[in-house]
Structure 1
Amino acid sequence: MSPNPKPGRILPLLPNHPLGRSALTCRYRCANACAHEAPNTSDNPYFGDVVREVVNRRGLLKAGAVLAVAGAGTAAMAGTAAAAETDATGEAGDVQANGHGHGRPDRGDGLNFDAVAPNTEDRITTPAGYEQAVVIRWGDPVLPGAPAFDFDKQTARAQATQFGFNNDFCGLVPLPGNDRWLMGSNHEYTTESSMFRGYDSNNPTEEQVRISWAAHGFSVVVVERDRRSGKLVPVIDRHYNRRITVNTEFAFDGPAAGSDHLKTSADRTGRKVFGTFGNCSGGVTPWGTILSGEENFNGYFANGEAITDAKVKERVSRYGLPKGASERKWERFDKRFDLGKEPNEFNRFGWVVEIDPQDPKSTPVKHTALGRFKHEACTIRVAKDGRVVAYMGDDERFDYIYKFVSSGRIARGNSRRAREHNKSLLSDGTLYVARFTGNSPQSEIDGTGKLPSDRAFDGTGEWIRLASGKKSYVDGFTAEEVYLFTRLAADKAGATKMDRPEDIEPNPRTGRVYAALTNNSDRGKAGKEGATEINPRNGNKNGHVLEWEEAGGDAAATTFKWTLLLVCGDPNSADTYFGGYDKSQVSPISCPDNVAFDAAGNLWISTDGNALGSNDGLFAVPVEGRYRGRVKQFLTVPRGAETCGPVIEDRFVLVSVQHPGEIDGASADNPKSHWPDGGTSQPRPAVVAVWRSDRGRISG
């Protein structure tokens, strides 16, 4: 099979390949979350069912009042997601242009590359006419004086000066001049069995643990683009470069800072905490800081069964109760990871953190006003009145989508005064959770993924207030409890259970918002919520991509209209949907994770845990016009790896290649990948740049 098949041909799947994420990844990243019951045991019903019950009991006229609450002001979203007709050539016709295209003229999608075929190669594959190079990899120097990486002679002191392990989110903040940026990368988790030869998971050494502490966190590195070669090159900059680890001091801010639930024997104030870990995706703010979400933090703690207070145990359990020893045994070397000794330390993680790469001496902040859950990401859009809106997903089966609207308004410009003001915007505002309502009869949502009679999965929604400042809107919860135990508050408020909401990104051209919902194999199982219009497949292993528009196009609105852009999987399968585009003309895509946009407004999607048999990859899809829904694969990452990031610039794309070679049975003594250095080398997570050989624009 050609690695670059011609456009217009469906890309075949690969047979006889293990499906989904490896058990090794599950073990180290999320403490085998999917092997345990989902922490959400609430019985809050899907709101579409509530509406239909009202219709049945009271009649359509009375039910109209309920629907008006959910859908008020949503008429601004032009067009529908009705399935498009296609002409004999396989190109979308007028229905798609007028419906999916939202009435916009067809300018072409600007995605001028041949789709890459699915594969399981141990390399990055890109379209013809593109080049690639590693920007920075695990162990490469970040700080001045950092030693060269030596796999067999690692030390905690060296790792604290080098690029960390398993880089996930990547963000660029421009520096004065051209082609020079501050690159921020978080380091989500460590896979110790792949980091140390002869690793004994039952008896890690103290030095191995301290190396792991240093390999977590965040890196800030100056990067420059060489215009001649196209490469992005890291710079050992004495002023800007920075490493943040498990032992770096952070400050709490916002309404829950100083809470008794945040106080420990090491911090009697509840305002200071050391470190960040489990960081997944994030976002770059308009004022030039970087946000990072603490996601799978619960697996770093031990001995949850030692908690005797029933209320405390309930609150911990909603985030995944750690039992017995932790995977990494950190509790043996620092008691704060032992819940039997420091139960409040658990509450000090699960936040959105803000890092200022332009001020390397600044103390990073954990924002309590944004709530505490398993944050996949946090991205910002400015509302019409200048308030800032943060969109956030809680990456767990049957958990929720949130947004935060600031009380203050953004200050324009990049003066020190303006930046300091803007850095305070995420400290005070209103926290919301989403409730989605489908507009089709439940009898038409049968769990198979079959489109309902209106030929779309779509509907309306509302943002439910949870708390604002010191005021709670949830019965039985103080505002402080809402921020600290947000999942429980959202349960009580009746939020819609989703299929692992991950990265969420507003389209900078249209303002519409897109969310990746990775999968949920538990949907429809005995005792679990079944298919709903917003999550239309039982046993959902391939995920879907959600699109919504806030009422009036205003990010601060409290109602919206939604549709599913993609129902992912094998295009040959009846349970998939590609925005109404001809399914014979698209790339297979499974398990969407991170999303980003290019300058032309095309959506780019990276995947995690491909259930179709191929390596994970990066895909691009137009969201408007006649090509809406035409998914094209841009690259694949090496075997066992996940595609993270991504960053889509005019002249290059950045992807974070996380956990290469993380295949069941792999270890430092038995590596399953030799990327990126080849030969017999150990695999190393890395950031990679891809650019056109002719130095042209990626899209346009």
Structure 2
Amino acid sequence: MTTQNKTETSAWHRLLETRLTRRSALGGAAATAAMVSLPLTIAEASTNNGAPATVDPKKVKPQTVAPFRPIPVGSADALTLPTGYRSQVLAPWGEVFTADGREIGFNHDYVGYFPIDMLEGGQSSTEALLTINHEYVNAMYVGGETKERTPAQIKAEMQAMGVSVVRVKKDGGRWTIVPDPRNRRIDALTDIELTGPVRGTAAVKGATMVRGTVGNCSGGQTPWGTLLTCEENVDGYTKSWAGSGYEAMHQGWVTEIDPFDPAWTPKKRTGMGRFRHENVAVTVAKDGRVVGYMGDDMQDACVYKFVSRGKYDPRNRAANRDLLTDGDLYVANFGNGTWVLLDYDKTKGLQEAKGADGKPLFTSQADVLADARASALAVGGTPVDRPEDIEIHPRTGEVYVALTNNSKHGNYFGQIIKFREDGDDWGAQKFLWEVFAVGGPQSGFASPDNLVFDPYGNLWMVTDNSDLATNPIKAFHGNNAMFFFATEGPDAGKAHRFAIGPVDAEMTGPVWSPDGKTLFLSIQHPGEDSESLDRPRSTFAAKSGTNVPRPTLVAIEGFPGWKA
């Protein structure tokens, strides 16, 4: 740690000592203990990646034109926005934010917005607990790049992944990090409980408690105010973290975290399957069961739906925190518009599935869930083109899927599709689907990634192009960008460029404050293609006096807010 960082840490601890009184420290815990219900409207609404909004999306008029002047293609090392909008760097990698000196993790991804008064039924737009996913590390920046990882380097990388829970407040027109006992890191060394059918089975070497969450890509928020963080690319660490005790089969799940309750042990929900989880779009079916839509971010992989067996009770938060333990997992067959059940005891195709050696692929439900990708393909799940984010339209209930690309089949630009469940019930067994928007020079975007809806039903999308500097067919695109789409009217499906990210960066995890006046957005891996720290391709969010770029969260303002 540098002298500057030590000074900043000491100053932070002094601030904690003066501001964290016993009353404030106990306030959050008391609120958590007292809370037994949440507004039903939170469960019913699926807008804003599951975060609350201050208007009912069913009562607002849809917009059919972009509420800003679209900006042209750009390649600057900056976050470029339309005239009238401004951004602020908030919670960059390496900033100390906890009483015990923990730092914000590396490579920010999904952001969850939990209003500070949410457990009392509030929807504060000026103070919240934010959860920030940290997907992976670049060894050149974290721990120092060497041919063989030392134990100290491995520990630094493991501690830089996972999730940051950060209290923020808007004060005097700017957002700041606020000291709070709930500020904490959940990382690759944190104890996490396995729940569901795979718990304690041979598939996870008998484990009931495991260590850590890694590959934290996108995620979702539940109606009862918890985070679902999704573990995506987890298998490669078996070699790079050799000797650390890392177990790949203990990763690749959906992990539930309660940002309001540090004493609640995070839970890996094995009933939701093991694959390259991008996100979970959570809603409630007509009969009260909780539904989660998920994508397997890989070429020729599938789209899934999890349906809980228990029903959501808006008056019993404690019971709701167990809802994702048990349920049914389905895979989408886009060829006939059906959901195929992935249940070993009920699905003959799983019982009869055999590998190339003629041996059964599965002998139990634990086997089915531990390799959900093989299970899905064995029963006719449709392989699609990298299903990254999935979100639910707050007005129509339609489910939108970002299919990023698939070079195996010549789909270099990707597309966004949407489907409507039978009877407009998310618990249905059938659906109809169509293409919403197609990437390419004609539309101006390529490789759609994270999606977010605002309460009007507008779709906002960020792109995931890792080859912009080397692929001539994407010269039209410029840096990765954020786009606006109307979903109704004559311009439905037409892309309008709202923001452009820095060099080599992706923008990820967009989420709105409930009043729609602030958009929180992650800037991931700026300068990732740099060959050395001496000659970085980007200096975005670098500390004063250095040229080292930093992944960070930004707060974008200039929006008028929601109006019914």
Residue 195 of structure 1 and its aligned partner are, at CA, apart by: 3.3
State the percentage of identical aligned residues.
40
Q: Deviations over 1:626-680 (max 9, x none)?
A: 33112111111100101100113310111100000112x4332321111113764
Secondary structure, aligned partner of 2:451: strand
Secondary structure, aligned partner of 1:376: strand
Stretches of structure 2 that go unaligned for 5 or more consecutive residues are: 1-58, 353-361, 469-473
Alignment partner, residue 668 of structure 1 = 533
CA distance in 1, matches of 2:563, 2:85: 13
Alignment partner, residue 182 of structure 1 = 129
Residue 111 of structure 1 and its aligned partner are, at CA, apart by: 3.1
CA distance in 2, matches of 1:631, 1:402: 27
Secondary structure, aligned partner of 2:375: helix
8 A Cα contact 1:106 1:626, kept in partner:
no
Cα distance 1:359–1:427, how it changes in 2: closer, same or farther (>3 A)? same
Q: 2:280 aligns with which of 338, 359, 378?
A: 378
Cα distance 1:182–1:188, how it changes in 2: closer, same or farther (>3 A)? same
Alignment partner, residue 248 of structure 1 = 190
CA distance in 2, matches of 1:297, 1:659: 18
Query: Which AA in structure 2 matches 1:386?
Result: G
Query: Which AA in structure 1 matches 2:66?
Result: L
Residue 145 of structure 1 and its aligned partner are, at CA, apart by: 4.7
Secondary structure, aligned partner of 1:433: strand
Query: Which AA in structure 1 matches 2:114?
Result: V
Alignment partner, residue 332 of structure 2 = 434
Cα distance 1:140–1:698, how it changes in 2: closer, same or farther (>3 A)? farther
Alignment partner, residue 446 of structure 2 = 590
Cα distance 1:186–1:462, how it changes in 2: closer, same or farther (>3 A)? same
Give the alignment of 1:20-31 within 5 angstroms.
none
CA distance in 2, matches of 1:287, 1:467: 27
Alignment partner, residue 463 of structure 1 = 339
8 A Cα contact 1:194 1:666, kept in partner:
no
CA distance in 2, matches of 1:481, 1:472: 13
Q: Deviations over 1:497-541 (max 9, x none)?
A: 100001101112221100111111011xxxxxxxxxxxxxxx111
Alignment partner, residue 504 of structure 2 = 640
Query: Which AA in structure 2 matches 1:501?
Result: P
8 A Cα contact 1:284 1:291, kept in partner:
yes
Residue 377 of structure 1 and its aligned partner are, at CA, apart by: 0.8
Q: 2:96 aligns with which of 119, 135, 141?
A: 141
Stretches of structure 1 that go unaligned for 5 or more consecutive residues are: 1-103, 147-160, 264-268, 303-328, 338-344, 438-459, 524-538, 577-587
CA distance in 2, matches of 1:258, 1:300: 22
Q: Deviations over 1:175-223 (max 9, x none)?
A: 12632111001111000113356x32x1333222211111011100011
Secondary structure, aligned partner of 1:369: helix
Q: Deviations over 1:604-634 (max 9, x none)?
A: 1111115444111111101112331121111
Q: 2:399 aligns with which of 505, 513, 525?
A: 513
Alignment partner, residue 253 of structure 2 = 351
CA distance in 2, matches of 1:105, 1:597: 13
Are 2:215 and 1:290 equivalent residues in the alignment? no
CA distance in 2, matches of 1:514, 1:428: 25
Alignment partner, residue 555 of structure 2 = 689
Residue 471 of structure 1 and its aligned partner are, at CA, apart by: 5.2
CA distance in 2, matches of 1:644, 1:115: 19
CA distance in 1, matches of 2:89, 2:136: 20
CA distance in 1, matches of 2:311, 2:73: 46
Alignment partner, residue 599 of structure 1 = 455
Residue 116 of structure 1 and its aligned partner are, at CA, apart by: 1.7
Are 2:97 and 1:170 equivalent residues in the alignment? no
Query: Which AA in structure 2 matches 1:396?
Result: M
Cα distance 1:144–1:110, how it changes in 2: closer, same or farther (>3 A)? farther
CA distance in 1, matches of 2:304, 2:62: 34
Residue 484 of structure 1 and its aligned partner are, at CA, apart by: 1.1
Alignment partner, residue 277 of structure 1 = 214
RMSD after superposition:
2.0
Alignment partner, residue 519 of structure 2 = 653
Query: Which AA in structure 1 matches 2:106?
Result: F
8 A Cα contact 2:142 2:157, kept in partner:
no
Cα distance 1:242–1:627, how it changes in 2: closer, same or farther (>3 A)? same
Give the alignment of 1:486-501 within 5 angstroms.
486-501=372-387
8 A Cα contact 2:63 2:458, kept in partner:
no
Are 2:308 and 1:406 equivalent residues in the alignment? yes
Higher strand proportion: 2
Q: 1:503 aligns with which of 381, 384, 389?
A: 389
Secondary structure, aligned partner of 1:377: strand
Residue 409 of structure 1 and its aligned partner are, at CA, apart by: 0.7
8 A Cα contact 1:354 1:365, kept in partner:
yes
CA distance in 2, matches of 1:107, 1:353: 34
CA distance in 2, matches of 1:667, 1:698: 45
Give the alignment of 1:73-84 within 5 angstroms.
none
Secondary structure, aligned partner of 1:475: helix
Alignment partner, residue 236 of structure 2 = 299
Residue 599 of structure 1 and its aligned partner are, at CA, apart by: 1.5
Cα distance 1:679–1:129, how it changes in 2: closer, same or farther (>3 A)? farther
Cα distance 1:471–1:259, how it changes in 2: closer, same or farther (>3 A)? farther
Residue 699 of structure 1 and its aligned partner are, at CA, apart by: 8.2
Are 2:368 and 1:368 equivalent residues in the alignment? no
8 A Cα contact 1:195 1:668, kept in partner:
no
Are 2:436 and 1:565 equivalent residues in the alignment? yes
CA distance in 1, matches of 2:179, 2:547: 25
Residue 482 of structure 1 and its aligned partner are, at CA, apart by: 1.0
Alignment partner, residue 224 of structure 1 = 169
Cα distance 1:136–1:494, how it changes in 2: closer, same or farther (>3 A)? same
Alignment partner, residue 475 of structure 1 = 351
8 A Cα contact 1:401 1:501, kept in partner:
yes
Secondary structure, aligned partner of 1:627: coil
Larger radius of gyration: 1
Alignment partner, residue 236 of structure 1 = 179
8 A Cα contact 2:60 2:563, kept in partner:
no
8 A Cα contact 1:597 1:648, kept in partner:
no
CA distance in 2, matches of 1:291, 1:119: 34
Q: Deviations over 1:371-417 (max 9, x none)?
A: 1111111110111111110000001110000001111110014xxxx
CA distance in 2, matches of 1:486, 1:278: 17
CA distance in 2, matches of 1:656, 1:127: 18
Which shifted more, 496-505 or 478-487? 478-487
Query: Which AA in structure 2 matches 1:420?
Result: A
Alignment partner, residue 191 of structure 1 = 138
Residue 139 of structure 1 and its aligned partner are, at CA, apart by: 0.5
Q: TM-score, normalized by length of structure 1?
A: 0.66
Residue 172 of structure 1 and its aligned partner are, at CA, apart by: 0.6
Secondary structure, aligned partner of 2:407: coil
Are 2:430 and 1:546 equivalent residues in the alignment? no
CA distance in 1, matches of 2:407, 2:395: 34
Residue 106 of structure 1 and its aligned partner are, at CA, apart by: 8.0
Alignment partner, residue 26 of structure 2 = none
Residue 107 of structure 1 and its aligned partner are, at CA, apart by: 5.1
Alignment partner, residue 204 of structure 2 = 262
Cα distance 1:346–1:608, how it changes in 2: closer, same or farther (>3 A)? same
